Amino acid sequence: MSRNTLRLLIGALIWVVMALLLFPVFLPAGSAGAYPLVAGLLPKWFVILLVLFAAYWILLVTLFVLTLGEYREPEGDLTEEQR
């Protein structure tokens, strides 16, 4: 898999995770009795949210490294024509 394909794939996954973070329809409302505390500390919905955030961070940092790891600033300034 080429670097560009990998970048596109990770980029798409990031937007999928972001959509899940934006529309948390899968997190049940607590008023329905669905707020069991995980390890007696944090509610289940919050732990799921943390896992999603963790996935988001891993993908984001991977994309960052893939995109800018080999990046070099273009040499020279723009020509008058390009300006």
Partner 1 sequence: MSTQVALQLLVVGGYAVGFILLGIFGHRVSERTLDDYFVAGRSFGYAMTIGTFIATLYSAFLFLGLVGAAYGNGLSGPIPVFVGTALQALFFWVFANRFWQLGKVFGYITLGDWVAHRFQDRKYGVLISLMQLGWTFPYFALQIIGGGLAISILSQGAIPAGVGAVVITFIILVYTYLSGMRGVVWTDLISAIIFCLIPVILLLTLLTHPAGGWTGLVNQLSASRPEAFFREGALGINSVAIWATLALMFGFNILGQPQMFMRIFIARDFRTIASVGFLGFGVIAPVVGLIVAVLGTLLAAAAPGIENPANALPTFAVQAYGPILSALLLAGILGAIISTTDSVLLALSSIVERNVYEYVRPNRSSREYFNVSRIIILVSTIAGLVMALTTPFTILDLGFTTFAGYATLVIPALLGLYWKRGNKYGAWTSSLLGTGVVFYLMIIAGYGSTPVLGVHASFWGILVGIISFVLVSMVFSEETNRGRDSIFEHLESFRRRRGTAVSGTSAEESAEA
Beta bridge partners of 38: 42
Question: Residue 64: which of 1, 21, 17, 7 has the closest Cα?
Answer: 7
Residues 6+ apart with CB under 8 A from 33: none
* Residue 70 touches partner 1, criterion: CB under 8 A: yes
> What would the x/- binding string for partner 1 be over residues 14 to 43, using CB under 8 A?
xx--x--xxxxx-xxxxx--xx-x--xxxx
Residues that bind partner 1 (CB under 8 A): 14-15, 18, 21-25, 27-31, 34-35, 37, 40-43, 45-46, 49-50, 53, 56-57, 60-61, 63-64, 67-68, 70-75, 78, 82-83
